[in-house]
A and B are shown apart, each in its own frame.
Chain A
């Protein structure tokens, strides 16, 4: 168990920032997403982030450069992406945590990588 969670954390099968919803699908937990963003911990293993920082998302998120899932270690991101074929991994040195505006229909915060690293 880590950071007061009542369950164990596993970067791939039980990542920190996600919980399994009633329909069996993984759902991001809002406060944990914010915690990862500001505490600078990995959304999968909940340990301090490294460099580079990685994000996972589908083609649309990659094209918009705006991700819903929190920052991750590179290895954790690759582990998560291996289990979700639609996800790609993007690497960056820095990111912006963007809170939603009143006009956003999607009221989730996003992460915008601001110093992308190739490869």
Chain B
């Protein structure tokens, strides 16, 4: 049986090699397509100045050159030329992984002009006739590259992808340094791109290139060094993140967005415990963030004193941050959870949804304490002694703004929360959560007190939400009920789902993407929630494990697919044997 299968494989490889040697057309199409795309990128893309809200943008697309969105078409075109030429010259490179990577580059290349045209036609009412030849030529080039990759489908599958093996610690560290600095620079460049149409190009190119790298197995390979030199990887990342506010040259906008992303990362990590680890769908999670934020606002010195006079004792910020607000939120989590966690999972979802609405409406209605729809403004500026956070920090010759201090605070908290979460997930409690998620009846039979364990998950999730809420209240210096709507609950859920249910690094990535992307695409803020809704449906349909899945969940979700593949493989063997 095995010999038959082996010979089958060999003959399949032989057939593919014959096809390769005969059909040169797909091979030639890739570099040619790349050249066409580069030429297209050089030509003008539009005949008139496009204005968004009265401000001319992407005006440089009218001339010959590589300005604006065309830069990314140029980049992908060059990649296609080099990759295509390599495949043409080196038969040994031709395999499924390479073909898939080339295909992703081609898709990215053709998606850039399409996305750009869509924005122009759908949002800026530019007639199709006004789109210049450059965009069309680039589109044709992208299609050529993509078709070229499609023509290579019969090539043998790529070599098995795995972690890069250990060479020496120095190599690992070098690889990590290069990878992380590159990722950081790509991120910084994305922050710098102001023009929305150019950003769209950046984003499409980023998605195309990273999925090409994924199909070459680069990300899986990186897992090796990442695993072996964890500490170094973390140190490099922390160093880069500390530098981030300094790269913004005094402009606090993106630092503020980064701080908000930090807050949302905290919240998403908390929700991840509830949804990802314990498998309890919480649709009113933002209520706990709101409770934390309001607690912080009320406990903050300025707010309290103006509310009830100076007679009340001042609660220090650190006490509020780490103890009071999270505990109040956790208390509400337990209060909600205690009676409802016995319910079936889908009932729980709807109860939490109702709870989220109850909290929001209540905050809106109890004027004497929360000041109703206006919310509480001018929340105190926390500090130590004579120093307040909003003053910023200066050390030696460099100084950072107050917003950056909040960003650093978030970084510290995220580090802390991640440490706690990892300790928890390896503990008895963490394993109990997973057991309950997998099979509640079996978990109960193994002696796990399911209600108590679920309550702990709920309480822990609410605790972190309270933490996030405190930072959010001080960062925004005001709280009001309409910041804590159902939409925000869904947004946080989308972060968890997009990143990878149950996998903290994935959740962090999901939260960062879903905070920065809407800020970058402000022109489309109208359709932001439409995109979230559609994205949730599509992710569940096509990639339920998210961008960075935990190993366990990837296995779970693809177990059936793998079994089916194994089954068909077996059939194939049988047929080959007869």
Question: Is the A/B pair a real complex?
Answer: no
Please give the residue numbers on chain B whose beta carbons come within 8 Å of chain A beta carbons, in ascending order.
none
What is the interface of chain A, defined by CB distance below 8 A to chain B? none
